[in-house]
Structures are given as structure tokens and as C-alpha cells.
């Protein structure tokens, strides 16, 4: 199985096997659009569920309980504050966390004693904390600022590195795509958005841009001499680059998703609500979507932008017209199977000299 996968990867790199990812970009754009629209709908309704760190309020944790029933905590809190709508979650196997709006000192003391009595544990097993709304607002502003600064630096660095603003735009589109879908999944599931979640969002942006840069680097290498030859179009050379980096993207994603998936399972099902669960969900969804966008969105979008350039458009027309003329003369001009097989040698001047034979004709 491993040898078969290695052979598949080798065939992709040499062009012996090729998937028309760039040529079918309308399909990928449609899938991405649907996912983004669904995520936007979830962000509107039911919307995000901000954690206490963002909205402020009081929090109680009851440890060492024999019964983790949530309704017991809800009834206890509402008896003291009828207008309160507490959020109760189970933490691990013997702890319950209760979050409320801001309570007075007397109410906090009363709730602690009532929770201890209700769950039949000592008062010392009930801890309380208070987070002011101003602190939560400050955290929200810093989270937004961090994301905006990250996107700004990404735009500048990619424009300078690739010397091509279209690649920077395509990378930003992929980043927004990944971020919106990841946040939309959070809204759909209803899990709380905590500072750990924001850290996860920033991390997956870094992962996504890293994967995209690797693909774009190969695209730049393959397309450097596009206008100096008349054998391949810009889209075909870019598509070869995507195929050449496909196995690497899959391997990187699998290696990254396996431990993150394990952390998500432990955080969500074994330990209950907590930092592990919050950050792991953002990482898992973001890495999965980031792999998709790096392969099926970023490069096809960049190609769509480049094909609007007069020089690229004229070159593409020239290549296709030449193929049509050769086809009219009875010559086999299959690019997808045979011509791309020698593309690696043709892309680099002087490479494989003497071996860059003409494509074999079909029998």
C-alpha cells in the first residue's frame, strides 16, 4: 500500500498522472461559496456563543460531585436569582461549571452555599470567579486587532516574496474562506468562543498560509517561462504544480490532523469542556479546510486572475490555436495525459536534455 501511494505521488510529480484541478475550478468555487454562505447563515442564527471571558460575568465550579446533573445547578441558581439564565457544563467526570451574568457579592456567597448543599459537597469544593465586561471587551478588541495585523503582514510579505499581487490576493481569499468556515462551524455547534478558540483561529491562519505558500512557490517555479514557450498554457503549468504538491499537502494534513483529532476527542468526550476542546476544534476544522483551500481554491483563483492579463490571455489563445491546427493535421495533441508527462523536463531550461522526447502517439 505504501509503495502504491509512493508510485502515485511519483506519477503526479512527473506528470504521468494528472488531475485537472485548475481546469475544474468552477466546481471548487461553487463548493467554497456554498460552505461560506452556510457559515454566514450560522453566524447570523444562532450566532456565536461567546464565553464568559468575552461577555463578563460570574463563574462557579463545583468539584467532587457524585451527580453531574445540570438541571440541579440551574434550579439552584434561579431560586436565588429568578431572572438568571445560567449556562451549565460538565467538566470531566466529577465537576460542574456554572456561568451567570454579573452577581453581587452577597449573591455569589449565597449561590456558593446553595450549590454546595445541592450537590452535597463541602463549600470549599465550590470555587467562584468574576470577570468584568471591560476585560472581555478588551480581549475581543485585541483578538480582532491580531487577526487584522496578521492579514496585513501576510499581504505585504507575499506581495514582496512572489512579486505578484495576484498571489497575495488569492492567498487572502483562501484565508478568509478558512476563517469564515471555521467560525461558522463553531456557531453551528454552539460551543463557547474562548481566548483558546481565538488562539486556534490564529494558528489555523498560519497553517493555511504556510500550505498555500508551498503550492504557490511551485506554481512560480513552473510558470516562470510561460511566455517563452508555446507548448503549455499558464493554467496547465499551474495545474502541474498543484499535482506535484498534492501528496505533500495530504501527508502534512494527515500528520497534523491525527494528533489534533486525538486532542479533540480527549477534550470533548473524556475531560469535558475546557481549553483543550476549544482550541482543538478550531485547529481540526481549520486545518481540514485549509488543506482544501490551498489545493482547490488558492491556485485556481490565482490562475483566474492571471488569465485576465492580456499577455497571458494572448499566449493561451496562441497555444490552443496551435494545438487545433496540429489536430486538424491529424497529430495527437493530448495534453492531459501525454504532453504533461514530459512537462517537468520542459519547465527547466537544460533539464533532461536529450530525453525530452515528443509525446507518444496513441495507437
- pLDDT, tens digit (0-9, with 9 covering 90-100), for 132-162: 767 667 777 887 887 788 888 888 888 888 8
pLDDT of residue 334: 53
What is the reported pLDDT for 181?
Answer: 94
pLDDT digits (tens, 9 = 90+) for 252-280: 888 889 988 888 887 666 666 566 777 88
Whole-angstrom distance, CA of residue 337 vs CA of residue 15: 8
Whether residue 355 is predicted with pLDDT greater than 80 in this model: the reply is no
Contact 15, 341 (CB under 8 A): yes
- Residue 249: the pLDDT is 86
Name which of 5-9, 37-41, 258-262, 331-335 the model is least confident about.
331-335
The band of 338, judged by pLDDT with boundaries at 50, 70 and 90, is very low
Query: Partners of 61 in the beta sheet?
Result: 97, 127
How much is the pLDDT for 157? 85
Q: Which domains does the chain have, with CATH numbers?
A: 21-50+135-310 (1.20.1640.10), 57-131 (3.30.70.3400)
Contact yes or no for 12/246 (Cβ under 8 A): yes
Mean pLDDT to the nearest integer, 285-295:
92
Mean pLDDT within 221-233: 89
Sign for the pseudo-dihedral over CA of 66, 127, 262, 34: positive
pLDDT class for 340, splitting at 50, 70, 90? very low
Three-state SS sequence of the chain: CHHHHHHHHHHHHHCCCCCCCCCCHHHHHHHHHHHHHHHHHHHHCCCCEECHHHHCEEEEEEECCCCCCHHHHHHHHHHHCCCCCCEEEEECCCEEEEEECCCCHHHHHHHHHHHHHHHCCCHHHEEEEEECHHHHHHHHHHHHHHHHHHHHHHHHHHHHHHCCHHHHHHHHHHHHHHHHHHHHHHHHHCCEECHHHHHHHHHHHHHHHHHHHHHHHHHHHHHCCHHHCCCCCHHHHHHHHHHHCHHHHHHHHHHHHHHHHHHHHHHHHHCECCHHHHHHHHHHHHHHHHHHHHHHHHHHHHHHHHCCCHHHHHHHHHHHHHHHHHHHCCCCCCCCCCHHHHHHHHHCCCCCCCCCCCCCCCC
- Looking at residues 314-335, what average pLDDT do you find? 78
pLDDT at 33: 96
pLDDT digits (tens, 9 = 90+) for 162-220: 888 899 899 999 999 999 999 999 899 888 888 888 888 888 888 888 889 889 999 99
pLDDT at 3: 63
pLDDT for the residue numbered 271: 65
pLDDT at residue number 330: 65
- How many Cα atoms are found within 13 Å in the side-chain-facing hemisphere of 141? 6
Terminal-residue alpha carbon distance, the chain: 31
- The pLDDT of residue 306 is 93
Q: Which three cell numbers stand for residue 286?
A: 481549520
Average pLDDT, the chain: 82
Range 182-207 burial, b when 16+ CB lie within 10 A, else e: bbbbbbeeebbbbbbbbbbbbbbbeb
Instruction: Flag whether pLDDT at 349 surpasses 50.
Output: no
Residue 50: strand pairing partners: 193
Count of beta carbons in the 10 Å neighbourhood of residue 175: 24
pLDDT at 149: 86
Q: How far is CA 273 from CA 5, 93, 162, 325, 336, in A?
A: 39, 11, 43, 66, 50
When pLDDT is averaged across residues 85-98 and rounded to a whole number, the result is 84
Does the global pTM surpass 0.85? no
pLDDT, residue 136, reads 66
Tell me which residue of 133, 91, 148, 88 sits closest to 115, measured CA to CA: 88
Amino acid at each position: 500500500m505504501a509503495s502504491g501511494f509512493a508510485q502515485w505521488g511519483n506519477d503526479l510529480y512527473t506528470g504521468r498522472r494528472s488531475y485537472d484541478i485548475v481546469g475544474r475550478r468552477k466546481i471548487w468555487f461553487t463548493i467554497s461559496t456554498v460552505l461560506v454562505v452556510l457559515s454566514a447563515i450560522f453566524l447570523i442564527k444562532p450566532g456565536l456563543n461567546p464565553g464568559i471571558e468575552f461577555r463578563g460575568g460570574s463563574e462557579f465550579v463545583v468539584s467532587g460531585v457524585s451527580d453531574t446533573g445540570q438541571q440541579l445547578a440551574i434550579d439552584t441558581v434561579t431560586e436565588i436569582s429568578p431572572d438568571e439564565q445560567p449556562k451549565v457544563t460538565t467538566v470531566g467526570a466529577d465537576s460542574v461549571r456554572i456561568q451567570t451574568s454579573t452577581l453581587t457579592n452577597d449573591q455569589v456567597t449565597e449561590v456558593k452555599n446553595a450549590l454546595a448543599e445541592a450537590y452535597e459537597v463541602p463549600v470549599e469544593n465550590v470555587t467562584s470567579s468574576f470577570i468584568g465586561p471591560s476585560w472581555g471587551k478588551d480581549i475581543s478588541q485585541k483578538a480582532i486587532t491580531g487577526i487584522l495585523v496578521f492579514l496585513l503582514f501576510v499581504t505585504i510579505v507575499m506581495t514582496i516574496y512572489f512579486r505578484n499581487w495576484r498571489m497575495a490576493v488569492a492567498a487572502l481569499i483562501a484565508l478568509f474562506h478558512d476563517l469564515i468556515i471555521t467560525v461558522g462551524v463553531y456557531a453551528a455547534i454552539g460551543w463557547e468562543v474562548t481566548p483558546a478558540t481565538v488562539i486556534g483561529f490564529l494558528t489555523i491562519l498560519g497553517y493555511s498560509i504556510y500550505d498555500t505558500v508551498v503550492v504557490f512557490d511551485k506554481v512560480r517555479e513552473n510558470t516562470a517561462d510561460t511566455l517563452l514557450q508555446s507548448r503549455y498554457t499558464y493554467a496547465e503549468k499551474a495545474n502541474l504544480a498543484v499535482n506535484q504538491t498534492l501528496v505533500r499537502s495530504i501527508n502534512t494534513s494527515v500528520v497534523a490532523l491525527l494528533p489534533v483529532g486525538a486532542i479533540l476527542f480527549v477534550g470533548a468526550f473524556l475531560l469535558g469542556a475546557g481549553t483543550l476542546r476549544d482550541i482543538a476544534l478550531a485547529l481540526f476544522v481549520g486545518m481540514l479546510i485549509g488543506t482544501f483551500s490551498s489545493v482547490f481554491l488558492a491556485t485556481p483563483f490565482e490562475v483566474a486572475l492571471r488569465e485576465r492579463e492580456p499577455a497571458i490571455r494572448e499566449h493561451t489563445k496562441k497555444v490552443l490555436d496551435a494545438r487545433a491546427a496540429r489536430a486538424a493535421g491529424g497529430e495527437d495533441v493530448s495534453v492531459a495525459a501525454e504532453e504533461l508527462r514530459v512537462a517537468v523536463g520542459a519547465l527547466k531550461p537544460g533539464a533532461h536534455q536529450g530525453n525530452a522526447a515528443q509525446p507518444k502517439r496513441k495507437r
